Structure 1
Amino acid sequence: MSESSWDLFATRHWEQKPGVTAAPGGQGTVDAQRAYAAMVQAARPFRAGTRFRALPDVRFLIDDGRIRAPGELLPGPHDTSPQQYAERLDKELQSPGRLLVVEQPLMLDHVLWGQVRSLVVPLWERVGYPVVPVVTELLLGERITQCRGLATQPLYSTLTWVLHGTVTATPQDSPAQAALTAEPGDVLHWPAGRPHQVRFGPRTLALRLLVPRDPRLLTAAVKDAVAKIVHEQERPGCVPYLPFPPSEAPAPPDVPELARMARLLHETTEGDRLDQALKAAWARRVSAAALEPAPDTRPSVPLKPGDRLRAASPVVRMPLDDGRTWLWAVDGHAFSVRGTLGERVLEQLHQGETPSVQQLSTLAGPGRETSVIALLEKLYTLRGVDVDRRENTV
């Protein structure tokens, strides 16, 4: 999708009306085989039994409903392609209609995650970055209709990239509106608050993004941030048991433990720690294009003086209140940097050349080379820089 096409989509379609348009970058921008491999990897522990509150999450649906413990019906190591997996299920499953849903699979594969991030960043640059993480799903469908319940319709707007097969969305609240069908190379957009059914054609593989819209999701995100701070500073203990009626006349409040926790919550919402936590979360979110949880970082390795570096993932930088400290975020991970040295390092990295670690370390001045090396190793771990090549120098 060209720049002008993105502008047109953001102006005429986004959050306004359902639509089908050519996918940005054309067909193949998202590696279909890589997407399927992520589904197989996510399904591996679920083949042994049901898991609860685990990410990635795996669901297997048929015409009659959901199979809670699909076991061998999930793709395994011998299902080397979506086609082979579909042919196996054609023989083993009585129900012709089926849908495999893997929620948050991108956290397993940084390359796949990066491909999807490249898809959505141009849209976020026009309409704004989501404040709450986007839910990503990979879908393998076979002649089945999925009805997204009325209770969940206001929560998310959806963007569905079709990699194979077809996806057809039919409105449930507007009989006059025709159904929309997306084919390989298309993206289907459906705004929040519009009840609809989704029909998956034969041998369909799709990527679906659920973009949060309901304010309850924002409330839950802030609540989780407050709870994390409280739990970090609260002494370990157990929920108490209290006699009732009390042996002595109770003084308000009747349950002092709850009142103490309420005061702690109030102090947390009024304090600086919550502001800093929310700023760090926002920096991580922008750097991840809201595709969270982000993949794990790379293993930490020492850089050699002759290693030549090139800029990789973009670094999101946000100033903190003290004026001397910055939040840096790369690929969904954040850390703090003091002073202006980091800015000089980034400027050098983005000049189009591949400076060596030794060259960059001189930016700090005599006696401070280790601070630059530590920063570069941190950026390498977070994939902010890549090693271009190694030279045989000390």
Structure 2
Amino acid sequence: MNASAAPVPGHDPSGPAPGQDWRRFARVHWAREPVVVPGVRPLGLGPADAHALVRAAIAAAAPGQVRLATADGWLRDPGPLLPGPGDRDPAGYAERLAREPRLAGDGWLLTVSDPLSHDFTLWSRVRDVLAELWRYVGQAPLPITAELAVGDRHHSVEDTAARTDAAALTWVLDGELTVRVRPEHTGTEYALRARAGDMVHWPAGGSHLDHRPGRCTTLRLSVPARTTSALPLVADVLADLMRAGPGHPDGQLTLPHPMPAAPDGRLGVPPRLAASAALLTETLAGPGPERALLLRWAALRSAAGLDPAPPRRPAVRLTPRHRLRRAAEIVRLPREGGDTVWAANGHAWTARPAGADAVLALLRTAPRAVTVTELARTARTSADDPELLSLLVESYRARALTAAPDRPERRS
């Protein structure tokens, strides 16, 4: 069994990087073998941030997003064992569980899937860190998912060590973590010991087991790396197009059961299944899949792949005198024979005005905030052009623009 080198003393994972950079990581470690990298690039997240993300996920009440495991396995209904209003910080929550009679002093593990979607500031910090990595290894083409884990004296068991088609980037935000990684086709096991500030990486295809000797908080990013990993995304895109198409029946359908048979007892393909297959063929033959995948890719590109992104913010009613300033990079993807696509912060929309490119150029280069009137003049249209206003409002909702009313005139 291979073991990582003894880790360096832990440092603040939300502080400045102590020397390692993505360039060296990409050249020496990426997609090669399991490794612990001290201080490769801090995420800007600490235990208090993790606790806030857990509380936000619980408040959102998304089914299956928050799970709690004990020595006996995953709890179906953890209820009051989850962090509540009385748990002001991670230490207080851990101390409460240590006194919990139902746990009898055993260890526990709290996991939250897609935690960053609840906080745009924290999501954007992690997105920016990923974007730096992609400069050296290339943009990941599929959604990158995050899992936040907070635990105390918890050890994964063998039957949870499923192989994954994704590479892993695991930041230790607090405490210590040991990961046993078994790469496929090698027969070798790595024991990777990491402390706060370290990152653990292993390529796709290996199974892993996490061991927390004490309190430990981690954020794991999974980067799909196999060709088959694209199938769920493509299937979801096609399913959405089929449901939105005129050939899809409204409402919930119930297939007949038992299936009707011919007089001689033979069973044929149920008509509903045959109709769905025909609808799929029709959908694939149209322009919808290419456009939908382009929109999805533009959104992912603007998010450095980190998915899902926090939802759009509410719209603002723009006036000609509103002052707009670009607050995030706007990805522009042209579409042959169709409208150009804009994307920012994980959201994509269509840029319909004929002068959209001129608008984007001004937003990118203006040294100050510009008014809607100035943007309209650049686009050679009016300040009340519905298509221009729609473009700017969508950009604002995606947090690509800030918007402020014009300063009131000073009275002497």
Aligned residues: 384
Question: Relative to structure 1, is the Cα distance of residues 87 and 151 closer, same or farther in structure 2, using a 3 angstrom cutoff?
Answer: closer
Is 2:359 the partner of 1:345?
yes
Please give the per-residue CA displacement for 1:292-330, whole angstroms capped at 9, x wherever unaligned.
2211111111234444332112111111121x5201111
Worse overlay, 188-197 or 360-369: 360-369
CA distance in 1, matches of 2:391, 2:188: 59
Supply the distance in 2 between the matched residues of 1:25 and 1:172 (Cα, whole angstroms): 25
Structure 1 alignment gaps of length 5 or more: none
Q: Partners in 2 of 1:288 and 1:70 — Cα distance?
A: 33
Q: 1:45 offset after TM fit, Å?
A: 6.3
1:183 and 2:191 are equivalent in the alignment: no
**Does structure 1 residue 326 correspond to structure 2 residue 340?**
yes
CA separation in 1, counterparts of 2:71 and 2:255?
48
Cα distance change on mapping 1:149 and 1:281 into 2, 3 Å: farther
C-alpha contact (below 8 Å) 1:132/1:290 kept by paired residues: yes
Distance 2:89 2:205 in 1: 36
Q: Shift of residue 235 of structure 1?
A: 2.5
User: SS where residue 99 of structure 2 aligns?
Assistant: helix
Structure 1, 95-104 or 121-130: larger mean CA deviation: 121-130
Match of 1:205 among 199, 217, 220: 217
Say whether the 8 Å CA contact 2:113–2:147 is kept in structure 1.
yes
In the TM superposition, residue 25 of structure 1 has moved relative to its aligned partner by: 4.4
Kept in 2, the 8 Å contact 1:62–1:99? The answer is yes
* Distance in 2, Cα, partners of 1:316 & 1:278: 15
- String of CA shifts for 1:164-195, please: whole Å, max 9, x gaps: 11121123467866522222222111222222
Counterpart residue type for residue 131 of structure 1: P
CA RMSD of aligned residues (A): 2.9
C-alpha deviation, 1:24, in angstroms = 4.8
Distance 2:235 2:188 in 1: 41
Whether 1:386 aligns to 2:402 is yes
CA distance in 2 between partners of 1:276 and 1:172 (Å)? 40
SS of corresponding position for 1:211? strand
Q: TM-score under structure 2 normalisation?
A: 0.84
Matched, 1:293 2:308: yes
Which letter does structure 2 place at the counterpart of 1:104? D
Aligned equivalent of 1:160: 170
State the partner residue of 1:89.
97
Residue identity in the other structure for 1:295: P
Q: Which shows bigger deviation, 231-240 or 259-268?
A: 231-240
Q: Deviations over 1:88-129 (max 9, x none)?
A: 111113143111000011111111111111111111232233
CA distance in 2, matches of 1:379, 1:166: 42
Q: CA deviation at 1:59?
A: 1.0
TM-score, normalisation: structure 1: 0.87
2:128 — aligned with what? 118
Does the 8 Å CA contact 1:59/1:101 hold for their aligned counterparts? yes
CA distance in 1, matches of 2:288, 2:409: 45
Gaps of 5+ in 2: 1-16
One-letter amino acid of the structure 2 residue matched with residue 356 of structure 1: T
1:279 correspondence with 2:287: no
The Cα shift of 1:339 comes to 5.1
Matching of residues 22-41 of structure 1 within 5 Å: 22-26=38-42, 29-41=44-56
| Deviation, structure 1 residue 368 | 5.3
Secondary structure in 2 aligned to 1:230? helix
The equivalences for 1:24-63 within 5 A come to 24-26=40-42, 29-44=44-59, 52=63, 54=64, 57-63=65-71
Equivalence for 2:8: none
1:220 to 229, 232, 242: 232
Q: Distance in 1 between matches of 2:124 and 2:396?
A: 16
Q: Does 1:359 align with 2:374?
A: yes
User: Does residue 1:66 correspond to 2:81, yes or no?
Assistant: no
- Cα 1:149–1:358 change in 2 (3 A) is farther
Which residue of structure 2 lines up, in the alignment, with residue 145 of structure 1?
155
357-366 or 104-113, larger mean C-alpha shift: 357-366
| Alignment-derived partner of residue 7 in structure 1 | 23
Q: Is the 8 A contact 1:10 1:126 kept in 2?
A: yes
- Structure 2: distance between partners of 1:212 and 1:334: 21
- Establish whether residue 196 from structure 1 lines up as the match of residue 208 from structure 2: yes
- The answer on whether the counterparts of 1:14 and 1:191 sit within 8 Å (CA) in structure 2 is yes
Separation in 2, partners of 1:148, 1:368: 63
**Cα deviation 1:125-171 (Å, max 9, x = unaligned):** 32233332122111111121225757732322211111111121123
Compared with structure 1, are the counterparts of its residues 393 and 350 closer, same or farther at alpha carbon in structure 2 (3 Å cutoff)?
Answer: farther
For the 8 Å contact 1:361–1:373, the answer to whether it is kept is no
Q: Whole-Å Cα distance in 1 between the matches of residues 72 and 133 of structure 2?
A: 37
